Structures are given as structure tokens and as C-alpha cells.
Amino acid sequence: MNTEKTTHFGFTQVPHQDKVQRVTQVFDSVATNYDIMNDLMSLGIHRLWKRFSIELSGVQPGQRVLDLAGGTGDLAAKFATLVGEQGQVVLADINAAMLQVGRERLLDRGVLVDYAQVNAESLPFANNTFDIITMAFGLRNVTDKEAALASMLRVLKPGGRLLILEFSELKIRPLKPLYDLYSFKVLPLLGKLIVKDADSYRYLAESIRMHPNQETLLEMMQSVGFDRCDYHNLSGGIVAVHRGFKL
């Protein structure tokens, strides 16, 4: 009898320990064209989603911010201007290629932040370190989401807040067939044309469908100890911003 623990990689079941490497291969492939594809896939709307997340963060000058799965650094760059010289922003990602692209991009713009290659499930920071943690479009790629949420709670300061911006469940039912067509036909085609990689964007569509919906993620956050949890649907629930506080 095969008792090996498995998890989902898109619609495929893979050995639990293999998911990180498979996700790494996806982002190694798309890193240099990540922002271009984001603009194409969302028609630029991802910038508004991220702006809304920053507003919900309530960030103040002098605070410490951890931008997990921060990739190419667009959130980190904005946070750096808001916390000022007395604050700190750490751009963190599990993927070295994404982190390198982000570092080069921010240095070219003269934006100074700190960098860390980390696994969200076991963050290498002391307890009660950060005022704010954000994670934009990264949680669905994490193997053990509960462990990651618990790790984020640990490194937040009391009173600190977590914001998770992630694809979620579309709530406008008449649009679902069109959304499925776009997800499973158009996205892989864009991936093939722009980055010569249809498979990575097929995984993107599948990973969105496998990610916990709004209420399930809210319950997961509450179960690990986050307080005053809520969420905001954006674009009809295509994405949602979940927020939780540490007591």
C-alpha cells in the first residue's frame, strides 16, 4: 500500500516534497517576463489590486514590512517610499530567479530594501519582528498553507497585520464559462507566445482553481490564531484581499 503523502500541483497530485521544486521550475521559466505577463493577463488591473492592498495595510513611516513572495518588487518599492528612511522593507521570495529580477529592478530605480530568500512555511525571522506582512499571488503556490500562516503570525508584532492578495472564487456566475475559457485557453496561449511556455500558465490557471475560496481561507487564518479577519472581493471575486491581525 502506497502511503506517500501527496499534494496538488495544479490539477496533478505530486509527492508532497516535490511541489517546491516544481513551483521553482515554473517561476525560473517566467521570472524575466513576469511583469509583462501580469499586465497582459489582467489588462493592468493587477496594479489596482495591489494599490488597494497597500491602502488596507495602513502602513506608517518607520514601520517594518515583510513582502513575502514579493517577486519583482512592485509592492516592496511602494512600501519603501511609505515607511521612509527610518523604516525597513524586506523583499522575500522562495525563488532565487524572481528575487534577482526584483533586486535588479529596484536597484535600477534607486529603491533600497533588504532581500531574503525564504520559505514562507518556516520564516527565518525572530518572533514579533514586523508590523505588516503582505503576500501577493504567492500563497496558492505554498505546499503547507497552514504552516505558512502560522509562521507569518509568529513573526508579526502584536497589533501587526497580514494582508494576502490572491486569486479566489469568481462570484458572478454568468461570467464563469467565459472566465474558464480565458483561464484554460487564452492564458496558456499567451504564455506560449510571450515566454514560450504554455505549461507554466496552464499551471497558473489550475492552481487558482485549487486554491481555497474566500471563506475557507478566512477560516484557515482564524484557525492559526489571526484576529479580526475579513476579506474584500475585487473584480467580482477573481481576486480577494484577506486581512488578519495579531493580538
pLDDT tens string 152-210 = 999 999 999 999 999 999 999 999 999 999 999 999 999 899 888 999 899 989 999 99
The neighbour count for residue 234, using CB atoms within 10 Å, is: 17
Q: What is the spatial distance between Cα 155 and Cα 125, in angstroms, rounded to a whole number?
A: 6
Residue ranges of the binding site: 72, 93, 119-120
Note whether residue 191 is domain-resident: no
Does 62 reside within a domain? yes
Do 143 and 120 contact (CB within 8 A), yes or no? no
Residues annotated in a binding site for S-adenosyl-L-methionine = 72, 93, 119-120
Domain count, the chain: 1
Instruction: Name the 3-class secondary structure at 194.
Output: helix
Examine residue 185 and state whether it is found in any structural domain, yes or no. no
Please provide the average confidence, as pLDDT, over all residues in the chain: 94
Residue 2 has pLDDT above 60, yes or no: no
- In-domain check, residue 69: yes
Answer yes or no: are the C-beta atoms of 53 and 136 closer than 8 Å: yes
Q: How confident is the model at residue 1 (pLDDT cuts 50, 70, 90)?
A: very low
**Terminal alpha carbon distance of the chain:** 45
- Cross-strand pairs, 26: none
Assess if residue 90 is contained within a domain: yes
Percentage of the chain beyond pLDDT 90 is 79
Whether 13 is in a domain gets the answer no
The pTM of the full predicted model, rounded to 2 decimals, is 0.93
Q: Of 155, 131, 116, whose CA–CA distance to 63 is shortest?
A: 131
Containing structural domain, residue 235? 26-172+216-245
Let me know if residue 155 belongs to a domain. Answer: yes
Within a domain: 143 = yes
CATH number at residue 52: 3.40.50.150
Distance, in Å, from the CA atom of 220 to the CA atom of 153, rounded to the nearest integer, reads: 12
φ, ψ (nearest 5 deg) of residue 15: -55, 140
pLDDT category at 32 given cuts 50, 70, 90 is confident
SS (H, E, C) 116-160: EECCHHHCCCCCCCEEEEEEECCHHHCCCHHHHHHHHHHHEEEEE
Contact by Cβ (8 Å): 235, 214: no
